[in-house]
Chain A
Amino acid sequence: MLKRPFFWIIVATVVAFVVLPLTGGIGIRESLFLAAIYMILSLNLNLMIGYTGYVNFGSIVFFGLGGTLGIYAISVLHWPLWIAVPVAGLVVALLALLLGLGILRLRGAYFALATIGVVEATSAFVSNFDPFGGSTGMYISFTAYKPLGGPREALWVAYFATVGLLGLSLLLGYAIKRSRFGLGLFAIREDEDAAMVLGVKAPLYKAMIYSISALLPAMAGVLFFFKNGVVQPDQAFDLTLSIEAIVMLMLGGQGTVFGAALGGFAYEQFRGYLLTSSTFSNFHLVIAGALLLLIVLFAPGGLVGWLHDRWKVTRRIFE
């Protein structure tokens, strides 16, 4: 592992995310925080779309449900952050496993539709469920920040924890790609029936990867809404962000770890530029849509796919 160039790219990325805000200040930290969240969403979505070939339109449900459960644990049950994050992640992953055994019996377009249904059903449920604060959501009181040394320190803790999750997402994507399990997933992507004939336990593998792809986004959701201070169903289960995650993945290149991460980072920068520029701020959706259409029609492999087509050597570096 230590001899592979990509491992060192992961290390360099994490180091950059730690060092840059320490030297650059709060503004850079906020931008990198959002970029890290986007990269986590994109990297974990890549496990489903890029590796397994199942289009999950509702990956945001993991993020939102993790956030909702985590904030509930912190603000109502008064759990400390470091317990709430992993517990919320595990609960969501377990729910995803059970759900996955059901909806992954569907293929193709039917699966994509079912994932949209899951987001809408969960979102509507949370908006009506009074313990989670209904449609107004839940707030975090200042006392929740105390054990971490006050609000200012808590924001830094949330940031570094998110960077940690980013590192884990990169390693996870890379490890799965290199593993026997990953090969099984690729076989499912290419031809599910043939894979089953060859002994890949497709239903189990699919449910497992669906559940694995839920774990880290759910934990990131807790950190995001902890830092945000408030969690509202409309924001937590925003179908648009779910689809933006697919855009990030397509932009960078689906099926590659480097592409998924690059896409998340590039999309955040691009979006930030469009939202702040005076000419484009009204049209950021239009431009993002046009960009997506161009990628789909002319460069379905994304940035990394385009690189790989031109040079062979990049295949061994940007995995």
Chain B
Amino acid sequence: MTGIFVSILNGLLLGSIYGLAAIGLTLIFGVMKVINLAHGSMIALGMFALYFLASSLGMNPYLALPLVAVGGFLMGLVVYGVAIHRVIGRAELMSLLATFAVSMIVVGLGTAMWSTSPYNVQFSIPGLSIGRYTIPGNHLVAAVVAILIAAALYVFLYYTRIGKAIRAVASNRQAAELMGIPSTRILAITFGIGIGIAAVSGALIATLFPFTILSGSSYELKSFVVTVLGGLGNPAGALLGGLLLGFIEGAVSPFFNVGWTPVIEFSLFVLILILFPAGLFRIGRGR
């Protein structure tokens, strides 16, 4: 019984990080209706950024997180300028392909530079023991950091000028422009924030598991599942969706072979898309 409880708790801790990763994706979709297929590659870049800051420069991984976030933000601005700006408002195919092209370029360069062999950030914090089981300290800290960042984003979106401008552009770009909001700049900033969050979530994942340049794609797929659970374009729903996905993974793993988890996840994903396209939790938007 304790085993199941610990498994679910572990799942929830991981789920908060899935949620954080998905917030980056869902924020971008909510504001500019672009599904960012470069999301996974940006998560992977976050992992490698943390690796080089922590292993090569010897920084404490958690102190390196703000640097990763700023790097991700700048990267997001560059990607927006190069690839996204011209496809906003055009057919979905164009934005999907543009972001996928970015992903191919990043993963291709990453593979050429770092190969596809696994990297690992050597680092651990004493864990919490429950009976025969131990919850690693890294997981606890990463989950707390993920939730703090999500809360900070919420405060930013609802209580600052730029945050309010972002929400205004999301609900109606033309009207926002008429109110004097520089919508192009706001879109670029939003994309930067989305990528920054993706990079930080990648960095947090790097403190837990070994990774390669290709690892991003599996977290990208998880982010899709999470955003669909929470409703596309709904950041608060994404965090809950992440926790739900983590809960499912934790609750399923003691009973099924691990290999079946993706079958359940993705079948659920398609079913929820068809049956509840607005997501399971309709909160945070005042509807």
A residues lining the B interface (CB < 8 Å): 49, 53, 55, 57, 102-103, 105-106, 108-110, 112-114, 116-118, 120-121, 124-125, 127-128, 135, 239, 243, 246-247, 250, 282-290, 292-293, 296-297, 300
Contacts and interface: CB of A to CB of B under 8 A. Distances in A.
Nearest to A134: B259
Interface of A is mostly: helix
Interface in B68-116: 82-83, 86-87, 90-94, 96-98, 100-105, 107-109, 111-112
Contacts of A287: 108
B191 interface: no
Contacts of A108: 92
B219 to A, nearest CB: 13
B51 interface: no
B255 interface: no
Given A112-B92, A286-B112, A296-B101, 16 more contacts: A49-B93, A57-B96, A103-B270, A105-B274, A109-B35, A112-B35, A117-B270, A121-B262, A125-B263, A128-B259, A285-B104, A285-B111, A286-B104, A293-B83, A293-B102, A297-B87
Contact of A286 (B82, B108, B265, B277): B108
Interface string B225-239: 100100010000000
B108 A121 contact: no
Nearest to A53: B91
Given A57-B96, A120-B266, A292-B101, A285 B107 contact: yes
A297 B82 CA distance: 9
Contacts of B86: 297
Contacts of A246: 93, 97
Given A55-B93, A113-B228, A125-B263, A289 B29 contact: no
Contact of A103 (B257, B262, B273): B273
Contact of B108 (A117, A289, A293): A289
B266 A124 contact: yes
A305 to B, nearest CB: 13
Nearest to A123: B262
Given A117-B269, A250-B97, A290-B105, A282 B274 contact: no
Given A125-B263, A292-B100, A118 B108 contact: no
A54 B107 CA distance: 27
B94 A117 contact: no
A113 B101 contact: no
A109 B104 contact: no
Nearest to B220: A116
B92 A55 contact: yes
A285 B107 CA distance: 8
Contacts of A292: 97, 100-101, 104
A117 B266 contact: yes
Interface of B is mostly: helix
Identify which of B105, B111, B277 gathers the most chain A CB atoms within 10 Å of its CB: B105
A286 B232 CA distance: 30
Contacts of A296: 87, 94, 97-98, 101
Contacts of A290: 101, 105
Nearest to B91: A53
B262 A109 contact: no
Contacts of B265: 121
A49 B92 CA distance: 11
Given A112-B92, A289-B105, A297 B98 contact: yes
A118 B262 CA distance: 11
A63 B221 CA distance: 21
B259 to A, nearest CB: 5
A108 B95 CA distance: 12
A120 B221 contact: yes
B267 interface: yes
A49 B228 CA distance: 23
Contacts of A55: 92-93, 96
A114 B270 contact: yes
Interface in B251-281: 257, 259-260, 262-263, 265-267, 269-270, 273-274, 277
Interface in B15-46: 29, 33, 35
Contacts of B96: 55, 57, 109, 112
B48 interface: no
